Amino acid sequence: MAVPPADGPVVRFGVFEVDPRAGELRKRGVKLRLQEQPFALLLALLERPGELVTREELRQRLWPSGTFVDFDHSLATAISKIRCVLGDSAASPRFVETLAGRGYRFLVAPQRAPRNGATAAPHEAAIDSLAVLPFENASGNAAWEYLSDGLTDSIIISLSQLPLLRVMARTTVFRYKRRALDPLQVGRELQVRAVLAGRVSQRTGRLLIGAELVDVANGWQLWGAQYDRVLADLSAVEGEVATEISRALRVKLTPALRVRLARHSTGDPAAHWRYLKGRYEANKLSAAGLEAGIAYFKDAIRLDPRHARAHAALAAAYNLLGFFGQLPPAQVFQRARVAALAALALDDGLAEAHAVMASVLKVCDWNWADAEREYRRALELNPSYASAHHWYADFLSALGRSTEAQREIQLAQQLDPLSRLISVELAWNAYIARDYPRSTEYALRALEMESRFAAAHLMLGLVYEQSGRLEDAVATLRIAYERSGRNPAAVAALGHALAGAGHRTEAGALRDELNKRAADGYISPYCVALLHAGLGDGPAALACLEQAFEAHDFWLVWMAREPRFDGLREEPRFRDLVARIGLAL
């Protein structure tokens, strides 16, 4: 085996350091046992952080021609030993990521260190992962909650743009809100290198902000600051905090990114306050919250038509409202398109707006190529955007690109490990890939996270049905039906399973329920089609799918992969509809 040059500098990542000359891997100064071959492989990956190192490159470098070796086995064994000693995971990698069939990528940016015999303090190396905990509302007034939440939100969005920095998503960190926990304990639970904590209050027209960045490994303060500003300066303070934290993290910023971090979202304080109130409401992720958020975003835009972030947030709120299924999809997604285009015309660097455009292109236009371009652009601008990884995973899953979808949804989970929705999406993507054992495992994990989560019961019921456990499916889907408030997707799932289990009268009653509700408002024709399919009424199911096509129903993107439509796959009308959407069976 050819060993890489052993005269390089000591490099550090997280709490680890690698000394090529001594051939040692150390954790907080303590030597770890790692054999020669895995050590050489680790050095090869460390030389090119963030880049794909192909299997062929590793073979040529570490297993030169003429060396008889079972390459695949040796490489897999070496990677496994590296992960074991680093405490890493193949499913949710922090350091070494597998790109199936291609090679490997080292996910964090190592820091070069002087070779002087002394071990530098951990804070001298670049921080590769961060959790921004919800800022405490220290004003004593619940009406100001949107201010502390909004500041937290803005800092997460700004820092998520930094290269080679993994930033925990809002959904996960806000699970710790109002919990009296040690920030270091939270950081260890989330497996991040640093934690930012702070508090916000206002007094006599002034804004008081305190913040502290702490190294999780040892509790040392990496940075701290106090701000005392007039309320109108909030937007400027957000940019200032993000810029100073990036310096404390020792992240190298391009001139363009430095400008973006410091840029004010608006010069109108009143517009900014309405924007923050809108985000506070929209983040409740309820139909009522999204409607309230939309009203605030419109107010912000009325006060400052050039408020690009307000346009982007408005687009995102419409996009999410479309998935609630309470308005005709074509109508609500068209509003999302208009707002996203307005945001991008003002600032093409807004990841949120690109992600919404991708969703519109997928659902309304069935323009798969341009949708993928927009998803990739969103993730290029904000690599820590968990929702974009999630939505891109759904996109790939709908196209049948299951391996890529799995990678993206796992990246989303790494960034947002406490998200109930992402935990269920892991199960959904495995279900669409017809990997029912793994889908079952993910659905059960989601229920462990929250036992009353209707979507997790729905997912488990779907997998039980496809696994032939029909009575278990019916029992589980009854729970989903009740706890979801009779959501059309849950109604359709229960009806389909009932029909398969021989309870056709009850399945027909659920079909009639959806048809009756459709007379009073929008009900997804796709869901009604599933009920007809379960009852064996192919012509009625196809007629409903045609209605879904006309309405641009967002569920339609799944029809080519959905197992519950297997009985229709040979129907010419079904195949023609799939082709018109631009999909392939």
pLDDT tens by residue, 490-538: 999 999 999 999 999 999 999 999 999 998 889 999 999 999 999 999 9
Residues 311 and 348: beta-carbon distance below 8 Å: no
- CATH classification for the domain delimited by 123-264, as one of 1.20.1250.20, 3.30.420.40, 3.40.50.10070, 3.40.50.300: 3.40.50.10070
Residue whose tokens read 């196809």: 542
The CATH architecture one would assign to domain 10-117 is Orthogonal Bundle (1.10)
Measured CA to CA, the distance from residue 519 to residue 48 in angstroms comes to 60
* Residue 153 phi, psi dihedral angles, 5° rounding: -55, -50
Torsion of CA 266, 271, 272, 277, to 10 degrees: -150
In terms of Cβ atoms closer than 10 Å to its own Cβ (0-12, 13-18, 19+), residue 392 is buried
Of 133, 135, 170, give the one whose Cα is nearest residue 149. 135
| ∠ CA 466-469-475, rounded to 5° | 105
Which pLDDT belongs to residue 118?
A: 37
Which pLDDT belongs to residue 114?
A: 52
Number of H helices, E strands in the chain: 25, 14
| ∠ CA 19-20-23, rounded to 5° | 85
Q: Which two tokens stand for residue 55?
A: 């299997």
The residue type found at 317 is A
SS3 164: coil
Return the beta strands (E) in 45-156 as ranges.
52-54, 96-99, 103-106, 111-113, 129-132, 136-137
Residue range(s) of every CATH 1.10.10.10 domain in the chain = 10-117
Which pLDDT belongs to residue 8?
A: 63
Of 406, 397, 341, give the one whose Cα is nearest residue 372. 397
Give how far Cα 431 sits from Cα of 349, 406, 501, Å: 35, 11, 20
Strands 52-54 and 103-106: antiparallel
Measured CA to CA, the distance from residue 410 to residue 459 in angstroms comes to 18
Residues 345 and 301: beta-carbon distance below 8 Å: no
Residues 409 and 426: beta-carbon distance below 8 Å: yes
Which pLDDT belongs to residue 547?
A: 96
SS3 464: helix
DSSP assignment of 526-559 equals: HHHHHHHHHTT-HHHHHHHHHHHHHHT-GGGGGT
Residue range(s) of every CATH 3.40.50.10070 domain in the chain = 123-264
Residue range(s) of every CATH 1.25.40.10 domain in the chain = 266-383
Which pLDDT belongs to residue 63?
A: 75
Residues 221 and 214: beta-carbon distance below 8 Å: yes
The CATH architecture one would assign to domain 266-383 is Alpha Horseshoe (1.25)
User: How many other C-beta atoms can be found within 10 angstroms of the C-beta atom of residue 569?
Assistant: 13
What residues pair up with 54 in beta bridges, in sequence order?
103
Residues 26 and 33: beta-carbon distance below 8 Å: no
The residue type found at 482 is E
**Residues in the chain, pLDDT under 50:** 1-6, 68, 116-123
Q: Which two tokens stand for residue 207?
A: 């804004």
**Which one-letter DSSP state was computed for residue 50?**
T
Residues 166 and 128: beta-carbon distance below 8 Å: yes
